[in-house]
Structure 1
Amino acid sequence: MNEPSPRRGAVAEDWAGDGRGTEPDRWYTTNLVGLPVGLLGATAFNTHPRPLSIAGVRETHRGLFRLLEGADNLAAASIVFRHFMEIVFGLTPPEPGTRALPRARHRSSYLKLLQGWGLDSNSAAGAVLKGWAESRFGLVPTFHKAPLGRFPSPAWITYIEEKGGSRFHNNCIHQQLDLLFEYCQWAIQNFGLPARGHVTLWRGINDFTEQRVIAGDRRDRTCVLRLNNVVSFSTSRERADEFGDWILEARVPVVKILFFPDLLPGVPLAGESEVLVIGGEYEVVARYA
């Protein structure tokens, strides 16, 4: 029989010995993007990013990406994408005067999820989005209503219950989010929006409860934070200032962007200067406004 690898042995020892295996900071999981989670969540990846693609999504939906190739601009591409999603996932509202199926009104959609996130990132919709990022990128969340520290805990139980709730899982919601991410990355590659390579973004916070200081000290301005596995930023420093006394400035690789303004004009978040980013460890400049 093969000897266990040192890493597996270390994990087993953690669980059997001092209990450090109950600390989510030490967890790692598989993912669907073909990179080690430890690398994907590290500042080194942010400095030298590689393209990210969720396995099998573009291959399964070749028709969508063939249609997108005919779009001359982002506005035209967004029409193609929304129409495709409406047809494939039955998201089109019923015609006036027609009888809709009883369950049609309850079909979950990526649009409702974005709307729920915009209202409260710690809502059930937020838990589903964090659960999707956990399963696709292998990054364990750090906060949902409360810090997700040692496991088990009431905070963890709440998160697990909400991320798997049937309210959002009756219409292939993870597959919808897969397509949103791949469409977003396609748009960035083809139109260079909001940037190519990296983009500077800002996040307003009142305290550091939702993010953990990994290295340095926020009073030194530059530090490394572990952000939640999905996190909101703003393209506007002034807009970020509305959300807290501390302003975090980060240089974000565009390969980690799930949603940005103008990606889908007219949908929730589009008018809020809000960018949804896959989290992990980021070097940030922290300023007290």
Structure 2
Amino acid sequence: MGPGHSTNLVGVPTGLLASTAFNAYPVPLHIASVREQNRSLFRMLAEADTPETAAGMFEAYMATMFDLDDQDRDGRGPARFRASSYLRLLRGWGYEANSPEGAVLKGWVESRFGLFPTFHKAPIDRFSGSAWITYVEEKMSSRFHSNAIQLQLDLLYEFCQWSLLRFHSVGQKHITLFRGTNSFEEQQLLQRLDKRHVIVRLNSLLSFTSERELAESFGDTILEVAVPTVKILFFNSLLPRHALKGEGEYVVIGGDYEAKAHYY
């Protein structure tokens, strides 16, 4: 399997987007037409003077746009509502990245950025394999595709990018993040550059932390990566209410990354 589809919705060829070259020299990414079709949100955000105010504006816009009540916005509403909320998907991801909610999020990355997942419950190495079939079945589940869920995720990504640029990572193109692992099953080892530096193919969507000490609790090998801010979908302090449990957690779009490996 190659890295992904030949086309995507962000205007950068998928092969380039997935490469270490892009990660070293990233360019701004925007999902086609999302900001243009939601100008009122970004006009409103332009008036925000703190990240907390901006987050409140975003949550209010999403609640109105997608008819989410307080329980929906917390990701804990009745079953008939929970599937329609972007926070419901984040909650499922927070419990288990290989959950059906995780498959929907990976499917969104595939449709918008063109990147195929490399792992979902098991390594994905061919389209005819059982892991790919399971991923496709779960990402297409009807209980997660009501209420324009793909557009909800588009807006989450665009708000995250706006917020990073405005408040959280002003002037920064990269953030140093860490991921602990006990194997290279989910992140494929492509090349060893030297004893400490490797090139890995990361899953289409995965979690990192900004706290190295926290990463150490997830494995004997710690990958230290300079993640382009344009490849961040969500981070722990973006919104006041969400269901990701990890402190300093970032949800990152994958591809091929050069990483520094720390061994214990």
Write the distance in 1 (CA, Å) between the matches of 2:187 and 2:206. 10
Larger radius of gyration: 1
Give the counterpart of 1:58 among 30, 35, 59.
Answer: 35
Moved more, 185-194 or 143-152: 185-194
1:242 lines up with 2:217 in the alignment: yes
Structure 2 match to 1:272? 247
- Within the candidate set 43, 48, 55, 2:20 is matched to 43
Partners of 1:113 and 1:176 lie apart in 2 by: 11
Are 2:165 and 2:171, in contact at CA under 8 Å, matched by a contact in 1?
no
Judging changes above 3 Å, is the alpha-carbon distance between structure 1 residues 186 and 270 closer, same or farther for their aligned structure 2 residues?
farther
Partner of 1:77: 54
The separation in 1 between residues aligned to 2:9 and 2:85, in whole angstroms, is: 22
Asked whether 1:203 is paired with 2:179, we answer yes
Q: Matches of 1:152 and 1:180 in 2, distance apart? A: 32
Report the alpha carbon displacement of residue 195 of structure 1 after superposing the two structures with TM: 6.8
Note the aligned Cα RMSD (angstroms): 1.8
Q: Do the aligned residues in 1 keep the contact of 2:197 with 2:261 (CA within 8 Å)?
A: yes
Opposite residue 251 of structure 1, the aligned amino acid is A
Give, in whole Å, the separation in 2 of the partners of 1:78 and 1:276.
17
Distance 1:186 1:27, change over 3 A: closer
Tell me the distance in 2 between the aligned counterparts of 1:108 and 1:71. 27
Structure 2 gap ranges (5+): 72-77
Distance 2:159 2:245 in 1: 15
C-alpha distance in 2, partners of 1:259/1:119? 15
C-alpha distance after superposition, 1:42-94 (max 9, x if no partner)? 00001111000000000010011111111101010000001111111111148
One of 257, 260, 263 as aligned partner of 1:285: 260
- How many correspondences in the alignment? 258
Which residue pairs with 1:251 in the alignment?
A: 226
Shift of 1:261: 2.2
> Where do residues 1-289 of structure 1 align in structure 2 (5 Å cutoff)?
24-25=1-2, 27-93=4-70, 105-193=81-169, 196-216=172-192, 220-269=195-244, 272-289=247-264
Matched to 1:234, the amino acid is T
| Distance (Å, rounded) in 1 between the aligned partners of 2:247 and 2:30 | 26
Deviations 1:5-48 (A, max 9, x none): xxxxxxxxxxxxxxxxxxx1365331000011111010000111
Q: How has the CA–CA distance of structure 1 residues 241 and 59 changed in structure 2, closer, same or farther, with 3 Å as cutoff?
A: same
Q: Distance in 2 between matches of 1:27 and 1:265?
A: 34
**1:46–1:282 CA contact under 8 A, matched in 2:** yes
- Percent identical pairs in the alignment equals 53
Displacement of 1:168: 0.6
Q: 1:103 to 1:232 in 2, by over 3 A?
A: closer
Q: Mark the runs of 5 or more structure 1 residues left unpaired by the alignment.
A: 1-23, 95-101
Native 8 Å contact 1:263 1:270 kept in 2: no
> Counterpart of 1:144 in structure 2: which amino acid?
H
- 2:106 corresponds to which letter in structure 1? K
| Contact map agreement 1:110 1:176 (CA 8 A) in 2 | yes
